[in-house]
Amino acid sequence: MTEHEVVEFIKENEVKMVDLKFCDLLGTWQHFVVPISEVSADSFKEGFGFDGSSIRGWQSIELSDMLVMPDSNTAVIDPFMETKTLSLICNIKDPVSGKFYDKDPRFIAQKAETYLKTTGIADTAYFGPEAEFFIFDDIRFDQSANSGYYFIDSEEGVWNSGKDEMPNLGHKPRHKEGYFPVSPIDSQTDIRSEMVTELQNVGIRIEAAHHEVATAGQAEIDMRFAPLTVMGDNFLWYKYIIKNVAKRYDKTVTFMPKPLFGDNGSGMHVHQSLWTKGQPLFGGNEYAGLSQLALYYTGGILKHAKALCAITNATTNSYKRLVPGFEAPVNFVYSSRNRSAAVRIPMYSASPKTKRLEYRTPDPSANGYLAFAAMLLAGLDGIINKIDPGKPVDKDIFTLTKRELKNISVAPGSLEEALDNLAKDHKFLLQGGVFTEDVIQTWIERKMENDVQPVRMRPVPYEFALYYDV
């Protein structure tokens, strides 16, 4: 919609409030609401003021005044507000310089798309994330000087097989057996269907929804691929809608990568491809039906994969999932069909239009705008510098010997290690001014101070089982 069409839509649909949404550096949607009396076509050019110093990783207090600039193309009715409310996704602008803000993740995504066009390689980058999540019935956690614990519960949790539920009807998926029996083992079809309906109501095309591998309500809903920034917007809607539909059912959703011990974590396999003038560029006559351009793109992803982890696997908990020898794709190789490789080439169809790469290492803790932009820049670096991805690995990597694994690069073992790799390898992110040195350094410093150091300083319950009697 144009700005004037939004104003008319507000009148015709008796909208009462406008919700202005924007994304902070770490990937959380922030918002504030204004009444329609404060909204006109000029609002899209003038913006609305807010305190940027209160947003994580942004302005210092003496430079706090910022503007949100609504994007009229993002206008939809918010499905969770009792008062009829129009949602608008915004970019951030500095009111003094008049420039868009370099630490605004949405602006970073838009700059990545602009840079892609300037390379002449392609005009569109499509992304399709498969973000997994858990639907729990109860979560409690706390940390103090003399205690620390978490407690998760789920009606589907196999640990409740012996619980007196008056009556306990059984049919709880065992560990690693949630993919994907019908009901009554799968008890969450209806809640997932409502999530799909609400996602469709805001304009997001959904391809499938299903139970995932783990016990205790692990799920996945697959969005149809979309251009980079649009998918960044969609990913935030995805998290927002899934969490709020769960709340309607008195349930809680987490996108935490590894909330359960002894069962699968939640990943986010990201399908990606390049197109120009409506034509796909990844189909060809090379390995697995790929083009040479797609192989170079793969080379860029694999070369920069350790640095990418600091953005695509952005929590300390991410590395509870990325453990060698288990099912998470920690080995930085590529393969067709093989789900144990970090980069997989799906083989469902031979059509060039369906040719794509699936990068399997990321998880849904990521900020979608930053993660998709970073992956694109890594892939473009591979194309520009003709980076050879090496030979594919078509064996089950989990069965390889130590000798065979010796020359295969693996994911960092911790967020700190990933951040160290980002500090050493981020020039590819600076191309086209997409990321800036300030953004990279802010990201590293904040993650060290607010994630790595606090977790490093705190004992965890299992350490008492290991060491209390030393």
Provide the annotated active-site residues.
51, 130, 132, 212, 220, 269, 339, 358, 360
The CA–CA distances, whole Å, from 460 to 150, 320, 453 equal 10, 13, 14
Q: Are 241 and 302 within 8 A, CB to CB?
A: no
> Coil, helix or strand for 280?
strand
How many residues are there in the chain?
Answer: 470
| Close Cβ partners of 107 (under 8 Å, ≥ 6 residues apart) | 91, 92, 100, 101
| Close Cβ partners of 463 (under 8 Å, ≥ 6 residues apart) | none
Angle at CA of residue 414, ends 411 and 417, nearest 5°: 80
Bridge-based pairing of strands 334-336 and 343-345 is parallel
Q: Which helix (H) or strand (E) holds 23?
A: strand 17-23
Bridge-based pairing of strands 268-276 and 148-153 is unpaired
Cα separation, 247 vs 334, whole angstroms: 39
> Coil, helix or strand for 438?
helix
